[in-house]
Structure formats: structure tokens, C-alpha cells
Amino acid sequence: MKRSTSLILLLFLAIGNFAQKVDLNYYLPDNISLNPKIPTPEDFLGFQVGEWHVSHDQLVSYMKLLAEKSDRAVIQEYGRSYENRLLLHLIFTSPKNQKDLDELKKAHQNLCDPSKSSKTNISSMPVIVLLGYSVHGNEASGANASLLSAYYLAAAEGAEIERVLENSIILIDPCLNPDGLTRFTTWANMHKSQQISPDPNNRAFSEPWPGGRTNHYWFDLNRDYLLLANPESIGRVQKLQEWRPNVVTDHHEMGSNSSFFFQPGVQSRNNPLTPDKNYILTKKIAFYHSETLNKIGSLYYSEESFDDYYFGKGSSYPDINGGIGILFEQASVRGFEKETVNGKLTFPFAIRNQFRVSLSTINASYALKNELLNYQKEFFTSGIKEASKSTVKAYVFGDKYDYGKTYEFIKLLQGHHIQVYKYSTKDSYAVPLKQENYRLIRSFFEPVNKFKDSTFYDVSTWNLPMSFNMPYVSISNKNNIGDIINKIELQPGKIISEDIPYAYVFKWDEYYAPRALFKLLKAGLTIKVSTSEFTYNEKDLKEEFGYGTILIPVNNQKLSHDKILKLLKECTTESGIYIYGLKTGWNSEGIDLGSPKFIALNYPKVLILVGNRVSSRDAGEIWHLFDTRYKLPITMSEVARVGRIKLTNYSTIILPGGSYSELDEAAIIKLKNWVKSGGNLIAYKSANQWLSSNKFIDIKYKKGAKPDTSIQINYVNKSKEYSKQLVSGAIFEVNMDLTHPLAYGYHNSKIPVFKTTANIVEFPESTDYKWFNYSTNPLLSGYASDENIKQIAKTPFLLVKTMGAGKIISIFDNTNFRGVWYGTNKIFCNAVIFGPIINSGRSRY
């Protein structure tokens, strides 16, 4: 099939009248031949691309069909989303290359391995391109454009495309976030009228909470590339490390009134660990995007607004792995047509832009093939050279009290193909710098405190040991590094002295200890927690037990000893904990097992308020934590239902960050009465502002640092000045009282915490409060202005207030950030499980 320019003109006229229905030729470039044996998207779907939002199942089925029909394509699955949807790459290259795909991949891996790369012949190697669509599920023009990219690569004929395919391997990831796309697609399609109204007031444009941007647990997958908290990213990063693509695209949408953005972004905001050449190459590729968009008359811009500082995004993770990541941002339609300042924006228009820049990426990558491959080779060899010169030879880490957390830490590093070794000191591990992913290791381990620019699109630091509260040091020689650790598994714990004991105890130190506790409480066992320390010393066992030790008496339980033992064994396997059988209640030091300082615990009944103006991210992180890590069921309810819920069914109510202004006076009184009668209310982040204005707590927020008003700032630089006073994500130090129930399981009173706002709370005047506060000189890593650092020093991170028989626990900053703050998760968990026992028994906190 050949088409002519006059046909396009006719089509443009047609679009004016029936904007949502276009011909396939509207999308495709001029003068291409197409293989009629390859089914078009319309042949398969029964509708034209852009006429409806494609569902994820349709998308996957079409990709499978192309793999079946085309000898240029194969499918490789790389995982499942939480909702069990398929994650896949449709891989295109010439039929000849397809036969040698594994060898080509191996040769490419050798290029990235400095010990082998000198022998590689770049001119005979294909360039590897990965096109990734719609990581934000409600930015659907990307996923819909993937239909066209895949069709084009399967169907286009002629010398030009064949040359490209001989010299390229192109991986298409049609949808990076299937669960989010599914929520959004249903919403967009269900609101489609036959007579479309582009009025922005249409319900279609106001997605219901939590929207389709995020995944099942409401995580932003476009922040998860480094953190690997979700199966989508785990599978994806595994493939990125395996394929090491030279160019990776990341197709997004932005505000409807904008145009189209392609990278490079703001140069001064690039991460200093990324070589400068990356920017130059990104700009060379950008030239191809500009040409293609000029041809179809689409407005665009570049070198503004966005940056690649944080490596956890789809467009920046490739940059720290020797590739070029490219962010695309298309003005969002969020439906089929929308009135904007640029006139009527249609879905097909948005899809066409995304498709055309996919093609320009492929063409640019082919044209720049040898330069891209050389850059990648040099990226890894220069890394090894730098590592050889570095005075730091390795990082040594390990938490002797917490194997579960150490396991998660190693698993995360291994997820990025970072090699971890045993170290001579007990419970210690080493990561030598001199290895392929040298730059990635630096980005994880080095605290950052110098910045070229004070504006950040996302967080300013992601120091991994700090987020895990993981003790670590840098070392300047590699003398004591042992064997490499193969793929790590959570080691089962064990029961020590299990024969007919008087009681069982386990420590609260382990990350997964709460999982064991919840399992045992659910089984109906009587369980107590130690609010003091003790030492057990019988001939076969001497052990010290700290605050928060869990006690399971053997006598007077609902279950037989055999059944208890069976449960405990399951706990050691599932949680990796050690459980000690004690033969006497008489301890050599500290309290005895019958002491009133052991307080009985109840199985927590947790209600978390969600919906409407609640932060879905905060709520999702809490849901994810209790559901997937601690295995505690929690009830999620819409805020507006509080008036109708029997609150006394719950021991703990959690208010994630957000506003609760839809609660009326009666609901507020009901909530207060529930607290006074013994409820445990946990308010997270900005929820405390609502609590304060409704007189649950008596706190004031500091005014925060402001730009110096005595200096006249040029109009054009105003937002720059403003951003200097933001805290867009930095790590600060907090002091804890280790005897307080909220600090149970911790051994160091100083702990790194993550702060994402410049909201700062003043100390309350009343003596009703207990607190953990920021240190005198609190900044550990990341950007905050000197004024902000001063303001934050010594202010509360957390407050506990008694109200009647109940408590209000205010946590002002993140303890669960993005599922990777293993170090502070336990503070939040402690608030749920130990909140109700604060001030009970003989101890007063």
C-alpha cells in the first residue's frame, strides 16, 4: 500500500468534522509500504486506534498476535502486576537477528563489561532501544500509541526499515502499569458520548480517587525504578540490567493546556553522576523529534521544566546504566476531546505525537548507533577506572540485630545486579566499588550535600543505608572481603530450647517480627510485651532481652502446647525470627516473666480512612506495609462513612495525610469520644493540621523560611527563589527515647527519617505530650536551605498525647516513604500495636 500527500489533506479535512474517528493513515508517516498480511490494530480490535481507549487485555492480545504473524517479533514476559496482569516486551529485530537473539544480547552484555568490552566489534552490533509506554496509567496516549509502534515495526516494508531492523533490537513495553491503565480505561470509555462534549467540566475529566496514575497499592511506578518495592519494577529492572538498552523512552502526559515536551531537560539539574556526554547525545536525538513534529505541525519544547536528577524514574534510571533515557510529555486529553488554550485537543492527536516520537527515537538510535554503543562502552570502562582511583574501595554494612532488614537490603542491591560479598566481621557484607554498576553504587551509598541547582523535580537524596537505618562504613582496602553472595533468600529462623518450656519469647528487633506477632494474636493466644529489659541465664542459654520483647506463656492458653509449637515454627520460617523457650520465669537480671511490666496485647483492629482528599500515596504505603509485609488485614473506609461506622469495633484509626474537612461536627465529636474511651488515633503528616484545627491536639506550625523580601528578585527568577525554600525530599536525623513503646525494636536512639515538606511543628506548650524530635544539626543527606535546617532543628518529628483513656499519635513526616523506608516502618507499626498500651500498667511514659 502506498499513500499520497493529497490523501492526508483530505484526512485533515475529515478530522475537523469527526475528530474522534480517524483513518490509520492519519497516524502513519508518508510513503510507506505495508505488509497486508499483518493485521492492523483496527482489524483486530474492531475499532480504529483512538476511537476507544484500548484495554490492557486487548493490548496484550494484539501484541501476541503480532508475535505470531511476524517473523520480526517475539514476546518475552517479565512479570505480573499485583492484579495478575501480564508484563511483557514485544521484541523486534530482523528475522536473521531473531535467530541469534541470545547471542546478540550476550555480545551486548560484554560491551558493558569492561573486562570483555575491548574485544567487541561495535560496527557489527545492533543498537538496543526500549520504548516504554504509560507508566502512569491515566496517561493513556502512550499505551494506545504502542499499538501503532508495534504495527509499524511488524508491517512496514522496504530497504529503509529493513536496514533499521538489521541494526536494531527494539523492545516495546506496551504498558508499564497495567492495573492503573485498567482503572483509567474503564473510566474514560464509560463516559464517552456519541456527541462528544469537549467541555473540561465533563465528569470524564475528573477521575475518582485514587485515579489511574498509580498501581494497585497506589504507588507511583515512575519513582520505583531504584526502590523496587513493586513487582512491575522488579521485573522491569531485571530486564533493563539484562538488555542494557542504549535508548529508553518513557511516554507520559502533562497538563491539557501544554504542548509536547521531549528531553533533554534542564541541564544544571542533571545528576552529577551522569556523564556530560549523556546530555549531548540526548540533544542529538532530540533533533530527530523536532524534525518529525515540525512535519505534522505539533508544538513542542525542550530543555525546560523537567530533570533527570532522581534515578528512580523511567527516563533517568537508564542514565545511570550507560543508556540514554528520554522523557516525553504530551498534553493530556484524559478522554477523547478536550477544549484547551491551544484549541480542541483530540485523543488521536495525542496518540500520533507519541507514535511519531517513537519512530524518531528508532531512527535517531539507528543513525547514532555507533556513537551510542561507544558511549555505553566508555561509560562502564571509565567507571572501573574511577573506581580504581577512588580512595573508597567498598562499603561494608549489616545490622546484627535485624537479619530480615539486611536480607531486604541485599535483595534490593542484587535486583540492580550489584554484587554483594561476605565480610570478615560477623553479620557484615561488602559492596566493592570496582564493579560494573559502580555509579549506581555511589548513588545509593554516598550522602549528598553539594548541589549545582536547588530545584528538584523529585527528591534530592535516596541514600539506601539511611532509608534502611542500616549501619555502614566505607573502607579503603579490600582485605577482608570474602565470597560473593548468590541470589539471597530469607533464611528461616528457629526455636531455641523448645522442649517443654515455661514460656516462649522473641525479640522485637527483626523487621518481620510484627508479622509473627500478628499471626499469633490472630490465633487467639495470650501475648504480652515487655516494657523493660531482662537477662535470662540458665545453664544452656544466656541471652539479653530488650524493650518490646514478646512473651508467649505456655500455660492457660486456648491452644495445646503442640499447636502453639506448630504456630511458632511457622513464624520462624515466615518471619526469619528466633524464638527462645525459657524454662523458668526467674530472670537473672531485670524483670521476671510474671512482672506487671509485661503488658497484654490485643489483635489490632485497624481502620484507615481513605478517599476524596486523603493522600492516596500515604494511604497506599500504609496499606502495602500492613498487607504485604506484616500480613495484618486492615479495613479501608471512605472518610464520609465515619458517621455511620461503629468505631468501637476498632482499636486503631489511621488518618493518612490529607484533609478531613468533609467530616461534620457530629462525626468530629464521635471521633473524639472514641479516642477518650480508649481509641488509638494515628495522624500522619498533614492530617495533623486537620486535627489541630479541630482541637484534637494543640500544635502550631512554624511559618517556614521565606525568600529575603528586602532583596528585589527579578520577576523571571521568582519561582527559582521560591524553590530554594522547599524541602522536596531530604534525610534528617531524629532522636528517639529507646524506652518508649514507639521505639521498641531500635538500638540506636538516633535514626534517619525522610522529610518531604517544609512543614515544621513547634513544641506544644502543654506538658501532655511526649515526643521524638529532630537533632540540633539534623540534615544528613539531600537539599534543604540553611534557614530551613535551622528551623527544623530540635522540633518534633512525632508527638504522643493522652486524651481520656485514649491516645493521639501524631507523626509529622514520612515513615513509610515509597515502600523503601524499612528503617522507620517499625515506628509506624509500633504506633499501631503498642499505641494502645502507652501509659498502661505501672509504667508511665
User: Rule CB under 5 A: which residues touch Zn ion?
Assistant: 136, 139, 252
Q: Which is nearer to Zn ion, 44 or 457 (CB)?
A: 457
Give the span between the Cα atoms of 675 and 98, in whole angstroms.
65
| Distance of closest approach, residue 270 Cβ to Zn ion, in angstroms | 19
Q: Toward Zn ion, which CB reaches closer, 315 or 652? A: 315
Select 330 or 467, whichever has its Cβ closest to Zn ion: 330
Identify the DSSP state of 476.
Answer: S
Closest separation in Å from C-beta 216 to Zn ion: 17
139 or 618: CB nearest Zn ion: 139
d(CA 779, CA 790): 10
CB of 817 to Zn ion, least distance (A): 19
Smaller CB distance to Zn ion: residue 184 or 217? 184
**Which CB, 136 or 755, lies closer to Zn ion?**
136
**Cell 562499603 -> residue:** 395
Distance (Å, rounded) from C-alpha 346 to C-alpha 17?
12
Angle subtended by helix axes 513-522 and 561-575, to nearest 10: 150
DSSP type of residue 716: G
Output 249 or 689, the one with its CB closest to Zn ion: 249
Tell me the sheet residues that pair with 658.
614
How near is the Cβ of 335 to Zn ion at its closest, in Å? 17
Instruction: Tell me how crowded residue 173 is: count the other CB atoms within 10 A of its CB.
Output: 27
Residues 6 or more apart whose Cβ sits within 8 Å of residue 103: none
Query: From the CB of 253, what's the least distance to Zn ion, in Å?
Result: 6
> Minimal CA–CA distance to 26: which of 43, 45, 51?
51
Whether 26 and 56 have beta carbons less than 8 Å apart is answered as: no
For Zn ion, the closer of residues 152 and 328 by Cβ is: 328
**Which lies closer to Zn ion via its Cβ, residue 92 or residue 328?**
328
Cell digits of residue 411 = 535483595
Cβ at position 250, least distance to Zn ion in Å: 8
CA distances from 582 to 382, 403, 514, 551, 638 (A): 57, 22, 21, 10, 46
Q: What cell was used for 75? A: 514476546
Task: Name the minimum Å distance from CB 565 to Zn ion.
Answer: 51
What does the angle CA 694 – CA 697 – CA 701 come to, to the nearest 5 degrees? 90
Nearer to Zn ion, 266 or 367 (CB): 266
Distance CA(295)–CA(813), nearest Å, equals 49
Query: Between residues 253 and 618, which has the closer beta carbon with respect to Zn ion?
Result: 253
Q: How far apart are CA 257 and CA 599, in angstroms?
A: 59
**Cβ 134 to Zn ion shortest distance, Å:** 8
CA distance 508 to 579: 11
Name the nearest CA neighbour of 822 among 754, 755, 759.
Answer: 754
CB of 182 to Zn ion, least distance (A): 17
Whichever of 93 and 222 has its CB closer to Zn ion, that residue is 222
CB nearer Zn ion, residue 177 or residue 816: 177
For the CB of residue 827, give the shortest distance to Zn ion in the complex, in Å: 31
Least Å from the CB of residue 788 to Zn ion: 28
Q: Which residues of 34-69 are buried (b: 16+ CB within 10 A; e: fewer)?
A: beeebbbbeeebeebbbbbbbbbebbbebbebbbee
Helix axes 141-155, 347-367, angle to 10 degrees: 50
Antiparallel, parallel or unpaired: β 343-346 and 337-340:
antiparallel
Shortest reach from residue 177's CB to Zn ion, in Å:
10
How would DSSP label each residue in 614-675? Answer: B-HHHHHHHHHIIIIIS----EEEEGGGGGGS-GGG-SEEEE-SB--TTS-HHHHHHHHHHH
Distance, CA of 491 to CA of 497 (rounded, Å): 19
Q: How far apart are CA 53 and CA 20, in angstroms?
A: 11
Among residues 584, 524, 526, which one has the least CA distance to residue 550? Answer: 526
- Best CA proximity match to 42, nearest among 185, 188, 142, 144: 144
Residue closer to Zn ion by CB (options 136, 352) is 136
CB of residue 124 to Zn ion, shortest distance in Å: 37
Min CB(798)–Zn ion separation in Å:
33
Cell representation of residue 38 = 499483518
Closest by Cα among 154, 28, 173, 156 to 93: 154
Give the residue nearest to Zn ion (CB): 252
Cα 389–chain centre separation: 33
Judged by beta carbon, residue 125 or residue 227, the one nearer Zn ion is: 227
Q: Is 833 helix (H, G, I), strand (E, B) or coil?
A: helix
Long-range contacts made by residues 56-61, C-beta under 8 angstroms, separation at least 24? 56/85, 56/143, 56/175, 56/178, 56/181, 56/182, 56/185, 59/143, 59/146, 59/147, 59/174, 59/175, 60/85, 60/86, 60/88, 60/174
For Zn ion, the closer CB: 306 or 696: 306
Cis check for the bond before 553: say yes or no (omega within 30 of 0).
no
Q: Which of 300, 205, 303 is nearest to 261 (CA)?
A: 300
To Zn ion, the closest distance from the beta carbon of 373 in angstroms equals 29
Work out how close the CB of 139 gets to Zn ion at its nearest, in angstroms, rounded to a whole number: 5
Which of 139, 510 has the CB closer to Zn ion? Answer: 139
Q: How far is the CB of 252 from Zn ion (least distance, A)?
A: 3
| Residue 142 CA: distances (Å) to CA of 358, 414, 489, 777, 843 | 10, 30, 37, 46, 59
Considering beta carbons, is residue 51 or 139 the nearer one to Zn ion?
139
CA separation, residue 500 to residues 263, 351, 504, 564 (Å): 67, 69, 10, 11
- Least distance CB 480 / Zn ion (angstroms): 45
